[in-house]
Amino acid sequence: MTYTLTTPLYYVNDKPHLGSAYTTLACDALARFQRLKGEEVVLITGCDEHGQKIQRTAEAAGLSPQAHCDRISAEYHQLWQQWQISNDRFIRTSDPRHRRIVHEFFGRVEANGDVVEGRQQGWYCVACEEFKDDPAGALDPQCPVHQRSLEWRDEVNLFFRLSRYQEQIEALIAQPEFIQPASRRREVQNFVAQGLRDFSISRVNLPWGIPVPGHDGHTFYVWFDALLGYLTALLESQGDGETSEAGLGELSQRGWPAQVHVIGKDILRFHAVYWPAMLLSAGLELPKQVFGHGFLTREGQKMGKSIGNVLDPEALLERCGADAVRWYLLRDIPFGDDGDFQQQRFVDLVNNDLANTIGNMLNRTSAMARRWFEGTVPPAGAAQNADHPLAQAANAAIALVIPNLETLDFRGAAEASLQLAIAANGFLNTQAPWSVMKKEGNQDQVASDLYAVLEAARLVALLLGPLVPDLSARMLEQLAQAPLNSGPNQTNSIPWLQQLQWGRLAVGSPLPEPAPVMARLELDGPL
């Protein structure tokens, strides 16, 4: 079965911010994990490019909407490459293929009697792309979210008959695993319990959008078309000579339904309520899970242009490297909760966990093994037994990492991996091979102890593969092991789960000259 997962399709109103990077990075870790387990994975990301806001932003910049979208989505594309995001697809909703899918989808919905005309009158926020409830007779009503003036609209729009799906949606979100984390489920349930109202799916007088077939002058409401991007992404030509005209009928062979939509908590309603109803209407399967993670603040403050405290993901990557940032965000912030980016803590954790605990463990052990055992992995001796303390620690770590990654508990996975490294360091200190070695006739003991720690290091590297792939590769290189393949369409000649078995490190294989696998972060000045 295909494991399909999605990031949101990011709105190209502005250049990428750290929040988008956070979501994407988490998805990348999950995708890599699933690939390592041997699943066929489709990680979808991309950009949402329609709507009035985009049209106006483009105008303000003196660009055509398409040129503006080309520019911003290229930035996203490039950023994900720099972050080594292993997305299998990158879909843009201004892609002509997408228009075709939207039309097909709309055809199904309309044929099902779920599209009706209605007059919509009220105050509209362009930033939200939403009608607001009547703001009690103010002269210049403001959007409570965006603090900007609302615009009066009076137009005939097409509505999707969401109200027909009340019961089905209630049943869906009653399933405990559908909305994650569970703490956000009640909120959505309360919203649905108030009664679902039809929502408009078209706009008039908005050229920058996908035209609604059979309804001149209407373009699709940006959300209606954006969500469908997930489907278009799956129907992309797979480059094996087939014609690229796959339609909705082929979705089930292309990886639909998604196993999980990973999103920010702000768009939970669209994904957990509107989207499933749309899919039901079109006769398509529903995603298995919607995971709404929290938001990032910085040093306790909301990030924003007006405060001037925005952390630019590109700059962050350049100064600190992908491993450091990935580790900090995934290891320190419970995925699902809001989190606070604190520079001191960032530096402390990266240095302690990655450089000191993990990196130094490998470094010190490798140095000893090379010195006393002719540059090779020493004979395992007693260390190959499954009841060796480090073998047991390793199995305990593995038994935590896998289920934690399965449920997007990256923090738990990181901690369990780290725990193995801590155990290995502790073992080394109690065994003290450096002093045992000074006495004659203890070679075997030292060999066995060093082997055990090297083997533990190998397993730490393997467990870290999904979270910090580069560091994992560097560690494996130090152990003269092949790096893990966890990118798109990659497989490993020896499956990951098999590589995770204790004792596979080959005795006698040469150890490269030790070089720190993780440099300590030394930041001069604020990020």
Q: Which residues would be at the binding site for RNA (CB under 7 A)?
A: 133, 144, 183-184, 186-187, 190-191, 194, 265-266, 269, 300, 302, 332-334, 337-340, 342, 345, 348-349, 352, 355-357, 359-365, 367-368, 422, 425-426, 428-430, 432, 434-435, 514, 516-520
* Closest approach of RNA to the CB of residue 511, in Å: 12
Q: Nearer Cβ to RNA, position 145 or 386?
A: 145
Q: Which two tokens stand for residue 259?
A: 């196993």
In total, the chain counts a number of residues equal to 527
Instruction: Choose between 243 and 429: whose C-beta lies nearer to RNA.
Output: 429
Torsion angles phi and psi, residue 3, rounded to 5: -100, 100
The CA distance from 215 to 408, in Å, is 43
242: left (phi over 0), alpha (psi -120 to 50) or beta: beta
- Please give the full DSSP string across 91-126, using - where no structure is assigned: EETTSHHHHHHHHHHHHHHHHTT-EEEEEEEEEEET
Judged by beta carbon, residue 38 or residue 426, the one nearer RNA is 426
Nearest distance in Å: CB 492, RNA = 24
Tokens of 249: 């009928």
Integer Cα distance of 453 and 456 in angstroms: 5
CB-count exposure of residue 240 (10 Å: 0-12, 13-18, 19+) = exposed
Tell me whether residue 108 or residue 131 sits nearer to RNA (CB atom): 131
Q: Angle 10-16-20 (CA atoms, 0-180°, nearest 5)? A: 60
Residue 356 and residue 521: Cα distance in Å, rounded?
11
Q: Between 443 and 501, whose beta carbon lies closer to RNA?
A: 443
Q: Each residue of 271-281: b (16+ CB within 10 Å) or e?
A: bbbbbbbbbbb
Distance in Å, CB of 236 to RNA, minimum: 32
- Write down the least CB distance from residue 191 to RNA, Å: 5
Of 119, 143, 140, 117, nearest to 130 (Cα)? 143
Contact 417, 411 (CB under 8 A): no
Q: What is the largest CA-CA distance in the chain?
A: 92
User: Checking DSSP bridges between strand 89-92 and strand 2-11, what pairing results, if any?
Assistant: unpaired
In the complex, least distance from residue 356 CB atom to RNA, rounded to whole angstroms: 3
Q: Given the complex with RNA, which of 237 and 352 has the nearer CB atom?
A: 352
- Output the smallest distance, CB 203 to RNA, in A: 19
333/468 with CB nearer RNA: 333
Please give the Cα distance from 429 to 211 (Å, whole number). Answer: 69
Instruction: For RNA, give the closer residue by CB, 221 or 256.
Output: 221
- Check: CB of residue 475 under 8 Å from CB of residue 517: yes
Q: Cβ closer to RNA: 144 or 249?
A: 144
CB of 133 to RNA, least distance (A): 5
- Cα separation of 130 and 221, whole Å? 10
Q: How far is the CB of 58 from RNA (least distance, A)?
A: 26
Nearer to RNA, 196 or 484 (CB): 196
CA angle 350, 339, 27 (to 5 degrees): 75
C-beta of 516: minimal distance to RNA in Å? 3
Shortest distance (Å) from residue 273 CB to RNA? 10
